[in-house]
Structure 1
Amino acid sequence: MKKYIFGIFVLFFSFFFSVAYGQSNKEIKKDYDEIKKEISTLKNQIKTKNSLIDSLIHRDRAWKYMFEGGGFEKRIESENKFWASEAKDFQAEVKRDNTYVLILLMLLAGVTGGAIIIFFTTYKTKVSKILASEIEKVKMEINKIITDTHKKAKEDSEELASQIENEIIETLAKVANTSKEEMKAIIENQREEFQLINRAKIVALVKVGKDAGFISDFFDKYDFNKNNILILTEEEYKERKTEADTYDTLLINNENNSFSSDKAIIEEYIKNAKNKVCFYFGALRVDADSEKSNFASTRTTLYIQLLALLRYKKLMLD
């Protein structure tokens, strides 16, 4: 019986001890967690204090740095010099950059201006060429129109003139009681005669001024072209020999031996003449080159013989 009671007691005690031990463990664990939490809090506080201490150390160092070397004012002066130097360097750098920018802008402006000038010059040249080409085309067209118009007008006028001429020839032939062909030959002969005396360039040589009267009247009455007639005295001829040689025909007036009674003198003038042909008027017979000269001894034969020489010159020498 005692054994059973002892066993029960042991069991009860074990149970109670287990419950008490379990409860104790819970409390111990709870206390352990609280202690661990407090330790973590202390660590955080220590870390915060360390950070604060580091901040204070850095600030102390900063203050020592600011105040070392003679005080706060000197430090401010040193800082002002430092920042003034920095500002000066910055200004120099800005100025240099501005210079580069200005140079770049000038180069860009120069290139742009050059390009514009080249463009407008090329454009102007091209436009000028086009305009010149168009103007040339218009000129050619206008010239063609004018040429065609003149040609047509000339053809029409020639045709009209030919019709009128034929009618005139027929009328004159009836009046003269001759054939149309004979009248046409007479008119052609008159036309040729007019052309000969109108185109003839004659320098007339006289002894003195008073001897020029008849020759001047002769050229006027036979309708020679006054612009192609030059009358010179012997002295004037010698002075203007070069000019006189440019005329086609030399006429020497020796009517009544007014120029000279010595035929050698006359022949010398004819020989030295640079004109194409020479004509001698006078009764004194002279020897001259028959291939380029003719003569008349009287006033009545003067025009016929001079005209014959001019016709010969035109057909054989011109």
Structure 2
Amino acid sequence: MPHAARPNFGIMTAPSQVDYPDVLRVWREADAIPEIGHAWLFDHLMPIGGDPDGPVYEGWTLLSALAARTRRLRVGVLVTSNRLRPPAMLAKIATTVDAVSGGRLEFGIGAGSRPGHPRARREYDAHGLPFHDAEHAVGSLAEACTVIRRLWTEDEPFDFHGTYHHLTGAFGSPKPRQRPHPPVLVGGRSSPTLRVAAEHADVWNIPGGDIGDAVRRSARLDRYCAEIGRDPASVTRSIHLPVSYEQPGATRDAIGDATDAGFGHIVLGLPAPYPAGVARWVADELLGAPPAR
């Protein structure tokens, strides 16, 4: 990938092992720092790290509350599990958050928890939700992206009869504040998910880690875009990088590597508990922003 211009930076606060006031404090602080452009939650119903019986807040409900208490940040869920909600319901939820935020929603979606994750299954079993195999999950994701986009943009009711989703008289009203619709971010690293991103994504996100692997996955996305006649440059490349409060230099190095590799959208994952002034610390220590005047 070509070297990107200065990336668009954001933060991610997983709503797990924390309380609402903790997350609200960080988001409101970040909202006043121009160097931080976006903020994200995750989409799990039970903890995937830390105390297995600890608190977790539902992502979209919390996102709407945070959207109402911020004014500038772009906001989203990194990424919504397509396994948890029917696509027409998700389209309605997202439209509502876009309205509450005044048109600041970034719509993140993915196939859902990996079957191999040690805690992936229990939140589905605990909530009476089916957990299908990866092929089913990705096929359902592709159809969901089509359904959601149509609900956001079409002016007449429609029927949809796919392999995984069936709707009769589907119609979305109101439409999202953003036109034609909020940006769609597809998250994931598997080849089938990359094919969904090539067709549907404005932004593609990959969890951080091995930057070499991220570059290879991005090159594969380029090929899939070319196969369907889409300009690969039309898909913004995004990466989630974990933050270390104790070793900010390592985080700065990871940011530099991602930037050099062409990732123009960087999400910095903040571990809980959040130190006082953590958003300002991110801007000063990690992004090299000058102090506020």
TM-score bucket of the superposed structures, by smaller chain: under 0.3
Superposition TM-score, scaled by structure 1 size: 0.25
Query: Which is richer in strand?
Result: 2
Query: Which is richer in helix?
Result: 1
Of structures 1 and 2, the larger Rg is shown by 1
Superposition TM-score, scaled by structure 2 size: 0.27
